[in-house]
Every structure is written in structure tokens, then in C-alpha cells.
Amino acid sequence: MKAALWYLLAGLEVWLGVCAILLGFYVILESLSAVEHASRAELIAAIAAITLGAVLVIDAFRRELGNRVMRTMERFGNPLDSPTRPGQA
């Protein structure tokens, strides 16, 4: 149950990040095609939304990949503890 909740939260984080990125790009593209250009504050908010979304997505992937690497290392053990390591007798 704990793993399912963890993946649900990671999925939610990625979903919010992608939505923020798409919303930011929509505001920027809409300001380029509209007769009335968007205000400076709207463009700054759009860039902030894109940045925040990218940070959320990258953080979710970084955390998940870090967990997978740690689980793999625990499963295979530490290679430095090997009795066949050169220089040990």
C-alpha cells in the first residue's frame, strides 16, 4: 500500500508539473498571437510557471531514479566489500 501511495504522489507531482509547463507555454503563445499583448506580469508568471513545472518534473524523476539505484545497490551489495578485491590478503 505504501508503494502504491508513493507512486500516486509521484504521478501527481509529474502531472502538476506538466500542467504548469503547458499553462505557461499557452500564456506565452497566446500573447504572441493576440492583438493585445500580455502584460509584463503575465509573461513573468508564465515563465515562473514553466520553471516551477520543470523543477517538479525533474525532482520527481530524480527522486524515483535515486530510489531505484539505492534498491539495486542494496540488492547487489557493496562491491568494495568483495573479498576478491585486489590488495587485500
**pLDDT (tens digit per residue) in 59-76:** 988 888 887 777 777 777
* Portion of the chain with pLDDT greater than 70, in percent: 85
Is residue 81 situated within a structural domain?
no
Q: Which three cell numbers stand for residue 43?
A: 509573461
Determine the structural domain holding residue 54 and report its residue range: 2-76
Asked if the model's pLDDT at residue 21 lies above 70, the reply is yes
pTM for the full model?
0.71
Is residue 25 situated within a structural domain?
yes
Is residue 38 situated within a structural domain?
yes
Q: With the CA atoms of 57, 63, 64 and 67 taken in that order, what torsion angle do they form, in degrees rounded to the nearest 10?
A: 180
Q: Which one of 28-32, 48-52, 79-83 scores highest in mean pLDDT?
A: 48-52
